[in-house]
């Protein structure tokens, strides 16, 4: 069939990053709008190591909205997907009705095809919904010519996704309003602010997480008094201190706040009834290694944080990376014939002293960690200008390679 130029799809591809919270979001005051009970703060990870890529196509010839995630067609009627699509279309219509001359309104009534992939294994248990929804909203906004505060829309896909709309150090201000218009993300400092900061993701397990964050936090809000105390009396002060530590690049202060906040989040999980366990034995041993390492040097050189799963995320400064990676390799020896143990930013080999080994003093746990992703802070979502990178063909279906 000859292709009418009117039927030629409008195709846009963008990428978006993963973020890791150092002051955790846990608990909603409004489930539908995804409004949190406390503010949170995160570091955006570099997209060279971890990113979602999304292509959105619109065409007059598409019969219905469709979505493919990591090669598989998924249900577009999912309420959170629908919230994001509805909001973007509403804002695009508003812009047209306000008479913006820059607005090309031809595609407004067209259906969309969406195709999204991660460059990291979903099975590794790394939060993919944050990058996924941030990328979806950012790409849809480009396609429909929507400008303005995209974090408010990404938030309605997944709470933590609002922080992936910006690079560097990002706070999600909880807001007060019932309609959620003031519950948005803001950059605290750009990714260039603290170039020595390094982030190591220690992939402890390939299992899927036992309790998802959405339902886990629901039970916590219903049953944990510790969570209420945390949200009301701990997080407000901690947010201020964390912002100060980031601005001053005070690693010791940043690291201690990060560890204490992770520990309190997991304490609220234990205070939830029935309790939720995200940390496993390997996670606990990593916590021990970090504290013993810091004590050995009489200086806080490392920090850990854990989300709703057993993987550890370690923060440190560039100069300490080679030695710490060697410590991990020593106490969690990888499979000799397994794949690459260190992925991402290259890490120089280093030796560790007998004193340090003794100070850590653990029984080695072979294969406790499957691999490490070495990364740093990175930028927010980007548009991909090379059309060969689109994930959808001009007929709106996924390319064979997806």
151 lies in the binding site for ligand DP6 (CB under 6 A): no
The two beta strands, 342-344 and 312-317, are: unpaired
227 lies in the binding site for ligand DP6 (CB under 6 A): no
Q: How near is the Cβ of 80 to ligand DP6 at its closest, in Å?
A: 7
41 lies in the binding site for ligand DP6 (CB under 6 A): no
Euclidean distance between CA atoms 260 and 277, whole angstroms = 17
Size of the site for ligand DP6 (CB under 6 A): 15
* Bridge partners of residue 317, in order along the sequence: 197
87 lies in the binding site for ligand DP6 (CB under 6 A): no
Q: How near is the Cβ of 25 to ligand DP6 at its closest, in Å?
A: 3
Measured from the CB atom, is 125 or 398 closer to ligand DP6?
Answer: 125
Q: Is 31 left (phi over 0), alpha (psi -120 to 50) or beta?
A: alpha
Each residue of 6-40: b (16+ CB within 10 Å) or e?
A: eeebbbbbbbbbbbbbbbbbbbbbeeebbbbbbbb
40 lies in the binding site for ligand DP6 (CB under 6 A): yes
Q: How near is the Cβ of 230 to ligand DP6 at its closest, in Å?
A: 13
Scanning residues 308 to 327, which ones bind ligand DP6 (CB under 6 A)? Answer: 308
**Contact between 90 and 137 (Cβ < 8 Å):** no
34 lies in the binding site for ligand DP6 (CB under 6 A): yes
158 lies in the binding site for ligand DP6 (CB under 6 A): yes
39 lies in the binding site for ligand DP6 (CB under 6 A): no
Q: Which residues, 6 or more positions from 35, have their beta carbon under 8 angstroms from its beta carbon?
A: 28, 29, 174, 175, 180, 183
Q: Is the dihedral of CA 261, 130, 103, 79 positive or negative?
A: negative
Which residue from 104, 38, 115, 112 is spatially nearest to 72, judged by alpha carbons? Answer: 115
Measured from the CB atom, is 21 or 88 closer to ligand DP6?
Answer: 21
DSSP state of 162: G
Q: Where would I find the H helices in 225-320?
A: 225-229, 235-248, 251-271, 281-297
Stretch that binds ligand DP6, among 90-98, 157-165, 190-198, 224-232 (CB under 6 A): 157-165
Q: How near is the Cβ of 142 to ligand DP6 at its closest, in Å?
A: 23
44 lies in the binding site for ligand DP6 (CB under 6 A): no
Measured from the CB atom, is 42 or 53 closer to ligand DP6?
Answer: 42
Measured from the CB atom, is 46 or 95 closer to ligand DP6?
Answer: 46
Measured from the CB atom, is 40 or 151 closer to ligand DP6?
Answer: 40
305 lies in the binding site for ligand DP6 (CB under 6 A): no
User: Both tokens of residue 193?
Assistant: 């602010």
Residue 262: alpha-carbon gap to chain centroid: 15
**Per-residue contact track with ligand DP6, 101 to 140, x per CB under 6 A?**
--------------------------x-x-----------
The vertex-214 CA angle with 279 and 379, nearest 5°, equals: 80
- Positions in the binding site for ligand DP6 (CB under 6 A): 21, 24-26, 34, 40, 127, 129, 158-160, 213-214, 307-308
């Amino acid at each position: 069939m000859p292709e009418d130029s009117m039927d030629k799809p409008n195709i846009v591809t963008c990428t978006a990053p993963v973020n890791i919270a150092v002051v955790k979001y846990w608990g909603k005051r409004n489930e539908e709008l995804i409004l949190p009970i406390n503010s949170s703060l995160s570091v955006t990870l570099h997209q060279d190591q971890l990113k979602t890529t999304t292509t959105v196509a619109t065409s007059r010839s598409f019969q219905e909205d469709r979505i493919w995630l990591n090669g598989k067609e998924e249900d577009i009627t999912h309420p959170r997907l629908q919230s994001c699509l509805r909001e973007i279309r509403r804002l695009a219509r508003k812009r047209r009705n306000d008479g913006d001359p820059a607005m090309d309104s031809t595609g407004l009534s067209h259906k969309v095809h969406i195709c999204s992939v991660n460059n990291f294994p979903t099975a590794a248990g790394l939060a993919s919904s944050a990058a996924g929804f941030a990328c979806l909203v950012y790409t849809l906004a480009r396609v429909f010519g929507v400008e303005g505060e995209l974090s408010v829309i990404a938030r309605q896909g997944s709470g933590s996704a609002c922080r992936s709309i910006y690079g560097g150090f990002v706070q999600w201000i909880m807001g007060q309003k019932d309609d959620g218009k003031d519950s948005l993300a803001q950059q605290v400092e750009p990714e260039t602010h603290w170039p020595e900061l390094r982030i190591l993701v220690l992939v402890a397990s390939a299992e899927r997480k036992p309790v998802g964050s959405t339902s886990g936090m629901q039970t916590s809000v219903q049953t944990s008094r510790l969570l209420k105390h945390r949200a009301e009396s701990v997080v407000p002060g901690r947010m201020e201190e964390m912002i100060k530590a980031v601005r001053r690049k005070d690693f010791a202060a940043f690291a201690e706040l990060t560890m204490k906040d992770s520990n309190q989040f997991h304490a609220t999980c234990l205070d939830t009834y029935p309790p939720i366990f995200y940390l496993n034995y390997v996670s606990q041993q990593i916590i021990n290694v970090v504290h013993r390492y810091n004590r050995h040097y009489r200086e806080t050189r490392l920090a850990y944080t854990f989300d709703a799963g057993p993987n550890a995320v370690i923060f440190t400064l560039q100069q300490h990376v080679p030695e710490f990676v060697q410590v991990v390799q020593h106490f969690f020896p990888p499979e000799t014939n397994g794949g690459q143990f260190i992925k991402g930013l290259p890490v120089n080999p280093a030796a560790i002293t007998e004193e340090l080994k003794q100070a850590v003093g653990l029984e080695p746990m072979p294969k406790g960690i499957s691999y490490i992703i070495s990364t740093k802070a990175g930028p927010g979502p980007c548009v991909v200008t090379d059309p060969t990178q689109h994930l959808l063909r001009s007929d709106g279906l996924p390319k064979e390679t997806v």
